[in-house]
Structure formats: structure tokens, C-alpha cells
Amino acid sequence: MREIFNKAQGGIMKTALNPNTIQKTDFETQIDVCSKAGYEGFELMYDVIQEYLQKGHSLNEVKKMLVDKNIKAAVVCAAGALIQIEQGRLRSEALDSVKKSSEYCNLFGCGIVTVCSPLKQTNIEQAAEDLASLCEIAQSYKVKICYEPLGFSQKFKDIKTTLELFKKVNYFNCGILLDPFHLYRGGSILDDIDLIPPERILMAHFDDVLDVPVEKMRDLDRVFPGEGVLELNKYVRKLKEKNYQGYLSLEIFNEDYWADDPYRIAKRGKELLEQYMEGKR
């Protein structure tokens, strides 16, 4: 296992792969790709696990794959929970996804469930109530909720509004997922990372984006680190200054990459991750 050590801050960051980077590849191959490319962690998706189980597989098979491939579960992504609540789907269904994701965390040895910010909700009181419901469930499993502000959300799309939301959520098992694409798209500046208590940074994504008008940026405009307009050197430096010791996870939505060899894409991404982590870019 390779770890990048920051002597100045004493922080350790680890590499992880988000399966959206190789989205068109089946689940078992994604785990194999992650392992052969040399990543330490993998982001498990709640919906993907559910689909895998529906095909007749078991949770023990998932656990065995991770163990056999020497891959750690970085997080379990129950990303759509808050969006489900917002869009009027059964609240019980959304909460159940977080409950099961928390159970999966306990089984697979990770302590973080990730969720995304609501897309349209502007009532901070309602948003806080919904997020608190998720935190309460996760807390019963000794798991943390990692909240990702989406840059194309109408309200909770940046660091400052996310921190305002956290102040209204009376749970301390709640933190933030930083993604440079969403920070840029949502109007955050990298210096806003200074405002976040270090213990609240639970997960960090890594990606770049093409030079297109911000208001028109899509997930599919993401590219390999260094091929876009984002200040990724500063982003990594800010994480080190916060003594962040979690995963730096490659998450790129790109249709050209999906059509390519997933092993090549993952390997190239890993090389770039390490170059930035080691200060070589």
C-alpha cells in the first residue's frame, strides 16, 4: 500500500477510485480495475450494490472481492437520499437507503455514508431537518454522513451555505465532501476551505473541468487532472494544510473515457493523483 506523507503537516492522504470514472464497466470488473491500477480505496455505490444483490449475489461476495483484491471500502454512496425526499418520493425509501448504506459500512469496514445536497430546496430549516434525519440513522450505526454540495444546486451549492446548514443540524457525525468541480461550479473559492473545521472534511474528490462557461458546465465536461482550468495544486495544498488524512478519490464523468479501456483510464488517473499529492505538478 502506498501512502503520500506530508512532512510539514503530518497528514496522510490515500488514493481511491470512484466508479463513475469507469461507469460503463460492470461492478466486479470495477473492483479488479481499482486493484490492478494500485488504488487503496474504492467508493461503493448503494444502487450498484442493490443491483448486484438482485442478480443473486450476496454481501459476503462483495466483502470477499474487496479482501481478495486488497481494496478498502472508502465510503458507501447513498447519494440520492436528500434529492429523493425533495422530489416527493417516499421519505421512508430515502431513509432506508441511508440505513442500509450504514449497515454496509459496518460490514465492509468503512465509516462514511455520502449524500448529495438537494437540487431545488431553498428552505434551510427543512434541509436541516432532512439532513438531521440521516445523521440520526447513521449515528445509530456509529457512521458519519458526508454531505456533498452540488455546484448546480439552487441553494446549497457551496462551502459557506453548507456550513450554515451544519450549524442548524444538531449532530456531530456530519461533514463535507469536497469536489473541485462542484466547488468551482457552485461559486466557492478554494480559500473557503479555510473556513471548514478540519474534522468536518470527511472525503475529497479529484477531477478537472474543461474551459466552458460556468453556468453551462456539466458533469460530462470533466477531464483528467491537469487538462482543465481548476487550481488543483492549491486544492491539494489546502487539504494538506487541514491535515486531511482521508481518501483523494478520482471521479470523472467523461463519455470518451467510458468508451476507452477502463484499466488504462484508471492507471492514468492514479498516476496523476500521485503527481499532485507528491507536489510534482
Write out the DSSP string of the chain: ---EEETTTTEEEEEEE-GGGGTTS-HHHHHHHHHHTT-SEEEEEHHHHHHHHHTT--HHHHHHHHHHTT-EEEEEE-TTHHHHHHTT--HHHHHHHHHHHHHHHHHHT--EEEEE--SS---HHHHHHHHHHHHHHHHHTT-EEEEE--TT-SSS-SHHHHHHHHHH---SSEEEEE-HHHHHHHT--GGGGGGS-GGGEEEEEE-EE-S--GGG--GGGEESTTSSS--HHHHHHHHHHTT--SEEEE----HHHHTS-HHHHHHHHHHHHHHHHTT--
C-alpha radius of gyration, the chain, whole number = 18
Per the structure, the count of domains in the chain is 1
C-alpha cell at 102: 450504514
**What is the structure's pLDDT at 12?**
82
Residue range 219-233, pLDDT digits in tens: 999 999 999 999 999
CATH number of the domain at 82, please: 3.20.20.150
C-alpha cell at 105: 459500512
**What is the structure's pLDDT at 10?**
38
**What is the structure's pLDDT at 24?**
95
Give every residue of the chain whose pLDDT is below 70, as ranges.
1-11, 81, 83-90
**What is the structure's pLDDT at 2?**
38
Give the global pTM.
0.93
User: On the CB side of 104, how many CA atoms lie within 13 Å of its CA?
Assistant: 31
**What is the structure's pLDDT at 91?**
73
Residue 71, domain extent: 4-277
Q: Taking CA 140 as the corner, what is the angle to CA 173 and CA 168, rounded to the nearest 5 degrees?
A: 40
